[in-house]
Amino acid sequence: MEEKKEILRRVYLIYILCCVFALAVISRVCYIQFVQGDYWKKEAENFMIRELDIEAVRGNIFAADGSLLATSLPYYEIAIDPHVNDLAIDDAMFEDSVYALSQKLASLLPAKTADEYFRMMMSARKNGLGYQLLAKNVSYQQLQEIKKFPLFRLGRYKGGLIYVQTNRRERPFRMLASRTIGYISDSGRVKVGLEGAYDSVLTGISGKRLMRKIAGGVWMPLNNENEIEPQHGKDIVTTIDINIQDVAENALLHSLAEHNAKYGCVVLMEVQTGEIRAIANLTRKDSGEYVEDFNYAIADAREPGSTFKLASYLVAMDDGLLNLNDRVNLNGGEYKYFDRVMHDSHDPKENDVTAEEAFWESSNVGISRLITQAYGKEPRKFTDGLHRLRFGEPLGLSIKGEGKSKIRNAGEKGWSGTSLPWISIGYESLITPLQTLTLYNAVANNGVMVKPTFVREILDKGKTVHRFDPEILNPAIAKPETIKNARRLLEGVVQNGTAKSMKNSVYKVAGKTGTAQVANDKGRYKSEGFVTYQASFVGYFPADAPRYSCIVVVNAPSNDVYYGGLVAGPIFKQIADRVFATELDIHDPVNTSTASVNEAPSVKYGLLRPTLAAADLLHQNIGGNGTTANATFVKVDNADNKLQARAEDPEAVLKSGVMPDLRGMTGADALFILENNNVRVRLRGAGSVIHQSIAPGTKIPATREVILDLTV
């Protein structure tokens, strides 16, 4: 009996405790519901509803002619609210409309089928969802089409259509000048090129919009209006000429591929303003493809080699310690300084030469001996002179990442007895290509050194808000007489020296070749028995009235050709020819009142009708015999200042299995004829055919491939 009472007491105790606990829970629920209700509702809204940033449209980057180099294109997330209040239709009507909408969506956005779109929207309505995402990365043009679809044609939100804009950076010209244009990483920490340098200008100010977080972690706009409208970023107009940029990149690419080089760069700069018209940087990847992934022109500080010799002469001439008529013995192209022997790249034609002739031939021995004789007792005077030029000092570019240049001062750590002669010819110093170009540009600009610039102006809604004027770094790098002699030296290199291949009869070029041995990470110039070279050419044109300066650097050419005049020079020439041909204001004016054609012009081997039409425009008479009447191609001979045409049929020759004579024909015509007759063609250069790998009259080999060398 006692046990039974004890059990009942325990049951009653547990029952009472459960009742007390239930009352406590009920009272707490009531307290939260009625006393703290407003507080927790507000907290829930703060968690589910937030004011989120609306990305501002980033400003555009334009080329000098207004072409778009980089722009932000709008893309959209498209969704539907199948329970929007304004959609007052029953389920049957909704199903019919959604079926038609699904068909339209599938035809425009085929990532999903019509059935998939249909099931998504029907399921969202059935399950009471207020937001069903349909597609991402929808373009602006696609959005305009979607607005016309069933249901959605009722308007934004009214027909259940919801769309949210995002922006994506695009470059219309793809890889053209891509490293200079640059980018901003997704995290915003990495800022490259003009995008990085002018990020604060391009970015704009973000707007604000109230958004609600719904199922699946999706944020849905609460209304059709923004709380704060975003302010678009400003635009920048660069100095890049898109046509010259294209020529520069293609010329560099073809040369790098031909010489199997590691990397290379090209910069074209306007002499008086310092505006960069073209800049290209290409690197060979393991696949053999060349890409623009590093700005060598700005960042690659290396021993420049012979292009440094101009700086040595400028200092010595300005100090009055060097005259161009001074004589020096080249000692057979070899000279010993203490325990090191200096060599010339080729045996001298004669030993006793002037200082000017030593520069023309880029003699290491001659130039180092002249500088050592002038400054052997006061080497610090020489290095101070180099700094006086402002050569090798930071240019303060708007684009970040300028290479760390250095010219060792006499007496500092690392200086030795051989430092002076080796520095004088471009070693034991680190200089970037753009710094070298800036010095040569100053010589072309009568001694005025201007800062290289990449941006001309900043625009806001199409109006100029800031213009960048030329910035002078050094108003006079040397005396006028020194600059005059320096220009004479650079013209002489092209007319009489290592850059004779750059000569042409249309306009003068002035410049300097460079062939430098490249040191490895351990400071050695020979690795595994091989020496790596860097070929360069830097100069300006037209030499008598300089308009543009240009530098070309090709690192590690590996097909047994590595001299600057042979590797870098042709790239310079191709760019200069294009610029000279397209910019008519560079040309000397023609006196039309006295202009006349006294001699019959030379005529290229080509199609009969265009040839006769061109001759007619020039008021030239071309004679011929009966065989030319039905000819497709003709060659025109000049006999005693009279033009005489004779018929040629290269296609008939090809069909007989023999290679015709294509010399004098334009590359385009030769390519058309050969490829139409199943002969593969490799073109080198531009212009007319001057040499063909299969001699005229020779049987075409089984490979059916011919190499045509062209020249302007």
pLDDT for res 86: 46
Residue 550 lies in a domain: yes
HSE of 296, CA atoms in CB hemisphere, 13 A: 22
Q: Return the CATH number at 93.
A: 3.90.1310.10
Q: Return the CATH number at 258.
A: 3.40.710.10
Residues 72 and 209 in one domain: yes
Q: Give whichever of 424-428, 617-621, 677-681 has the largest mean pLDDT.
A: 424-428
Residues 222 and 111 in one domain: yes
pLDDT for res 524: 54
Residues 641 and 693 in one domain: no
Structure token pair of residue 628? 């030319």
pLDDT for res 491: 96
Alpha carbons 51 and 229: distance in angstroms, whole number: 13
Residues 458 and 362 in one domain: yes
Q: Give whichever of 47-51, 542-546, 703-707 has the largest mean pLDDT.
A: 542-546
How far the first Cα of the chain sits from its last, in Å, is 125
Minimum mean pLDDT range among 175-179, 309-313, 336-340, 445-449: 175-179
Minimum mean pLDDT range among 16-20, 130-134, 517-521: 517-521
Whether the pLDDT of residue 217 is over 60: the answer is: no
Q: Return the CATH number at 703.
A: 3.30.10.20
Residue 175 lies in a domain: yes
Minimum mean pLDDT range among 170-174, 605-609, 663-667: 605-609
Q: What is the pLDDT of residues 251-267, one digit of tens each?
A: 999 999 999 999 999 99
Q: Once rounded to an integer, what is the mean pLDDT over residues 422-445?
A: 96
Q: What is the pLDDT of residues 450-507, one digit of tens each?
A: 999 999 999 998 899 999 999 999 999 999 999 999 999 999 999 999 998 888 878 9
Minimum mean pLDDT range among 29-43, 118-132, 278-292, 394-408: 29-43
Asked if 394 and 430 touch (Cβ cutoff 8 Å), the reply is no
What is the crossing angle of helices 480-496 and 433-444, to 10°? 110
Q: What is the pLDDT of residues 140-163, one digit of tens each?
A: 889 999 989 988 887 655 678 888
Residues 11, 13, 15, 17: is their CA dihedral positive or negative?
negative
Pairing status of strand 49-54 against strand 207-214? antiparallel
pLDDT for res 53: 65
Query: Between these two residues, 498 and 45, which has the higher pLDDT value?
Result: 498
Alpha carbons 373 and 393: distance in angstroms, whole number: 26
pLDDT for res 211: 67
Q: Once rounded to an integer, what is the mean pLDDT over residues 104-118?
A: 92
Residue 11 lies in a domain: no
Residues 218 and 308 in one domain: no
- Mean per-residue pLDDT over the chain, rounded: 85
Alpha carbons 165 and 77: distance in angstroms, whole number: 7
Whether the pLDDT of residue 599 is over 60: the answer is: yes
Residues 436, 438, 442, 448: is their CA dihedral positive or negative?
negative
Residue for token digits 């040629």? 648
Structure token pair of residue 712? 């302007």
Residue 18 lies in a domain: no
Distances (CA, A) of 64 to 277, 389, 397, 626: 8, 31, 19, 53
pLDDT for res 210: 65
Query: Between these two residues, 158 and 240, which has the higher pLDDT value?
Result: 240
Residues 537, 262, 294, 287: is their CA dihedral positive or negative?
positive
pLDDT for res 84: 64
Query: Between these two residues, 591 and 480, which has the higher pLDDT value?
Result: 480
pLDDT for res 242: 92
Residues 113 and 128 in one domain: yes
Asked if 296 and 265 touch (Cβ cutoff 8 Å), the reply is yes
pTM summary value: 0.72
602-632 burial code (b ≥16 CB/10 A, e <16): ebbbbbbeebbeebeeeebebebeeebeebe
pLDDT for res 394: 94
- What is the full DSSP assignment across 455-509? EEEEEETTEEEEE----EEES-SS-HHHHHHHHHHHHHHHHHSTTGGG--SSS--
Residue 12 lies in a domain: no
Residue 592 lies in a domain: no
In angstroms, what is the C-alpha Rg of the chain?
37
Categorize the per-residue pLDDT at 62 as very low, low, confident or very high, splitting at 50, 70 and 90. Answer: very high
Residues 118 and 190 in one domain: yes
pLDDT for res 488: 97
Q: What is the pLDDT of residues 282-341, one digit of tens each?
A: 999 999 999 999 999 999 999 999 999 999 999 999 999 999 999 999 999 999 999 999
Residues 450 and 368 in one domain: yes
Eight-class DSSP state of 31: I
Residue for token digits 């590595």? 562
Last residue of a domain, one of 199, 216, 238: 238
Residues 254 and 181 in one domain: no
Structure token pair of residue 420? 């002076």
pLDDT for res 595: 47
Residues 640 and 673 in one domain: no
Give CA 661 to chain center in angstroms: 39
- What is the full DSSP assignment across 261-326? -SEEEEEEEETTT-BEEEEEEEEE-TTS-EE--S-HHHH--B--GGGGHHHHHHHHHHTT---TT-
Asked if 561 and 514 touch (Cβ cutoff 8 Å), the reply is no
Asked if 384 and 392 touch (Cβ cutoff 8 Å), the reply is no
The total of structural domains in the chain comes to: 4
Residue 400 lies in a domain: yes
Residue 164 lies in a domain: yes
What is the crossing angle of helices 364-375 and 309-318, to 10°? 30
Eight-class DSSP state of 159: T
Range of the domain at 326: 244-586
Residues 540 and 466 in one domain: yes
Q: What is the pLDDT of residues 526-568, one digit of tens each?
A: 554 467 889 999 999 999 999 999 999 999 888 767 778 889 9
Q: How many helices (H) and strands (E) does the chain have?
A: 22, 35
Q: What are phi and psi of 596, to 5 degrees?
A: -155, 160
Eight-class DSSP state of 156: B
Residues 234 and 272 in one domain: no
Alpha carbons 246 and 652: distance in angstroms, whole number: 38
pLDDT for res 213: 63
Asked if 358 and 328 touch (Cβ cutoff 8 Å), the reply is yes
| Closest among 309, 279, 107 to 194, alpha carbons compared | 279
Alpha carbons 280 and 243: distance in angstroms, whole number: 13
pLDDT for res 529: 47
Asked if 248 and 578 touch (Cβ cutoff 8 Å), the reply is no
Amino acid identity for residue 678 in this structure: N
Query: Between these two residues, 519 and 317, which has the higher pLDDT value?
Result: 317
pLDDT for res 624: 66
275-309 burial code (b ≥16 CB/10 A, e <16): bbbbbbbbbbeeeeebebebbbbbbbbbbbbbbbb
Query: Between these two residues, 54 and 360, which has the higher pLDDT value?
Result: 360
Query: Between these two residues, 214 and 296, which has the higher pLDDT value?
Result: 296
